[in-house]
Every structure is written in structure tokens, then in C-alpha cells.
Amino acid sequence: MVSAAGKICLVTGATSGTGYVTALELAWSGATVVVLARNAQKAARTRDEIIATTGNTHVDTLICDLSEMAQVRHAAEEFKERFRTLDILINNAGGVVKPPRRTSEGLEAMFAGNYLGHFFLTELLLDELKASGNARVINVSSIAHRTAKIDFESIHPNASHWGGYGQSKLAQILFTYELADRLKGDGVTVNALHPGAVKSGFTAEFRTGLSGVIVALSDALIGISPEEGASTILYLAVSSEVTGTTGRYFVKSKEKTSSRRSRDIALRRRLWRESQDILREVGVGELS
Ligand SMILES: NC(=O)c1ccc[n+]([C@@H]2O[C@H](COP(=O)([O-])OP(=O)(O)OC[C@H]3O[C@@H](n4cnc5c(N)ncnc54)[C@H](OP(=O)(O)O)[C@@H]3O)[C@@H](O)[C@H]2O)c1
């Protein structure tokens, strides 16, 4: 059982898998939990289930497809109308989009949904995070970042589903390290993690082809439950062992070294600038 009593927590992708378990555990411990989901029915069902299971009525929903930047801005505005502070932001939503596609705003869907939407959401909620005085941002990345690179020439088109997925997860770690540096002294820590090979909605996506065989084998040999997958997220969200720890990458609740590329300072600064440029091009406004 974790303790986040009295904290305000926002969990993206809380309708299934590790996000659901994370939201449930935080609610059990007495936190106010905001479930951010792209599907209104699933969001309502998740909220009702969490309330019925835990008896904690402080569970709220925000509807937002994180791959659509106008929706992200709207969700952040709604959050600000309801809450003045944010103590724990868990950027968990994500997955593989197969075949790769563009969003209505012309962005590659995995880069947008797994990374850029979280980048934008976090930036929009910085004042509320700072107002907490002791906030934690947790970015759920993946071991898939290890072999990935950022292809600035073709962030939008043509990424293969695995290539695009790895790129989005590498972007999340680069973002983690850059944001952690920018927020030093502001009372906000930022860390990333790989949850393990979790048997969840993520692996259920792969039922055919070579990826289906690989994922089925991985599930059978090393697959873990969403509860086990959520344990590193919850550790980073509430454990006193990581109070003040920032700009780190964790696997199985232990600090690990992420890929060499993810630690490239010039790359992460370029990604930050390019992310701002993309948001400007999409027309959702300026960021500091
Ligand atoms: N499972 C693994 O083996 C594994 C390994 C490494 C990393 N991860 C990462 O762990 C995180 C959680 O995955 P999981 O295993 O729990 O998978 P999951 O059961 O498929 O859950 C993914 C969640 O993200 C939501 N989501 C996806 N794209 C979204 C978008 N554009 N906007 C809003 N919500 C969106 C999904 O919503 P819907 O219910 O609407 O689909 C769902 O709630 C993901 O970031 C994933 O990349 C998973």
C-alpha cells in the first residue's frame, strides 16, 4: 500500500494496464486522483470502478487524446479551473500505433501521443506543479528507447511502428533530463522509468505477424502483471527513498543508466526547441 493521502495526482492512460493500477493504488491511499483518458466512456467506467473499489470519492476525469495538441491545451485549462496545485503527474499513456498514422494536426501519432502531448501537458501545468512545493513528474518510457534515435528530418512521416515507438520513448527520456535540469530549485522532481514487459492492453495490440510472435514469446517468458509493472511508477510517485532525486531513469525501482543517446545534452536541447517549434506550427500557442 502506498501513501499519497491528501495529494493531487494526475494519471494519463489510466483506463487500463499500469496506469489503472497506479490510479487505483493512489486512490486507495487517500489521494485525489484525476484520470486522464481519450475515451469518455472508459474514463467514466474507470472513475466509477475506482470509487466503488476504494470508497475514495475524490476521483475525477479529464478527456483528452494526448496526440491532439488542441485537446491537451483544453484539458490543461480544465484542470486549472478545478485545481490550484498538482503534486504528482504521471505521464503514463502510450503505446504502438499500427500502422503509423498522422493525427488531425498532421503529427506522427506515436511521437505526438507518447511524447509531445506529455511535453505540452507538463509545460502547461508547470505553475500548478511548482505551487505544490514538492511535486513529482514521472514519465513512463520503455527499454525500447535503447536502440532508438530521433530522426528530426522525418519526425512526422514514415516511421515504422517499432521505430516510431522507440523514438517517442527516447524523446520522453530526453525530455525528462532536460526538464529536471530546468526545474532544479523549483521543488519539482522529474524521473523516467521502464515498467518491464507488462501483459496489458499494450501487448494485446499484437496478435499477428512477427511482432505477434515476439510479443507472445516475451509475455510467456518474461511477462509481468500490470500490478508489478506499476510498482516502479508508484515507487517514484511516493517513496521517501527518491525524495529530491531528479533526472534519473529507473527499472524495477532501481536507478539504471539509460542509453548513451538519451544522455546527449545537445540532442535533448534540440528536441526541446523542435518540440516548441512543432507546437507553434500546430498553432496551439507559445511556451516559455
Ligand atoms: N506493456 C509493456 O510491456 C510496456 C513496456 C514498456 C513501456 N510500456 C509503456 O507503459 C505505458 C502503459 O502501457 P500499458 O502496458 O499499461 O498499456 P495499455 O494497457 O495499453 O495502457 C495504455 C493506456 O494509454 C492510453 N493511451 C494510449 N494512447 C493515448 C492517447 N493518445 N491519449 C490518451 N490516452 C492514450 C490507453 O487508452 P485507451 O484505453 O483509450 O486505449 C490506455 O489507457 C505506455 O506508455 C507504454 O508505452 C509498456
Tell me what pLDDT residue 154 has: 64
Pocket residue to mutate for ligand 1, from 107, 169, 198, most atoms within 8 A of Cβ: 198
Cell numbers 493525427 correspond to what residue? Answer: 103
Closest-lying ligand 1 atom to the alpha carbon of residue 66: 32
Yes or no: say if 281 and 210 are a contact pair by the CB < 8 Å rule. Answer: no
Tell me what pLDDT residue 207 has: 65
Tell me what pLDDT residue 156 has: 57
Closest-lying ligand 1 atom to the alpha carbon of residue 14: 43
Q: In sequence order, what are the residues at sequence separation of 6 or more whose Cβ sits closer than 8 angstroms to the Cβ of residue 38? A: 63, 64, 65, 66, 93
Q: 39 CB less than 6 Å from ligand 1? A: yes
Distance CA 153, CA 171 (A): 15
Q: 13 CB less than 6 Å from ligand 1? A: yes
Cell digits for 3?
A: 501513501
pLDDT averaged per 10 residues, the chain (length 288): 86 98 98 98 98 98 98 98 98 91 92 97 98 97 94 66 89 98 97 94 70 76 92 98 98 98 98 95 79
- pTM recorded for the entire structure: 0.96
Digit-coded pLDDT (tens) for 264-277: 999 999 999 999 99
Cell numbers 514521472 correspond to what residue? Answer: 138
Check if 165 is active-site: yes
Distance CA 133, CA 117 (A): 24
Given the residues 20, 115, 165, 177, the one annotated as active site: 165
Q: 200 CB less than 6 Å from ligand 1? A: yes
Q: 218 CB less than 6 Å from ligand 1? A: no
Distance 236 CA to ligand 1 centre (A): 18
Tell me what pLDDT residue 214 has: 75
* 100 upstream amide cis, omega within 30 of 0: no
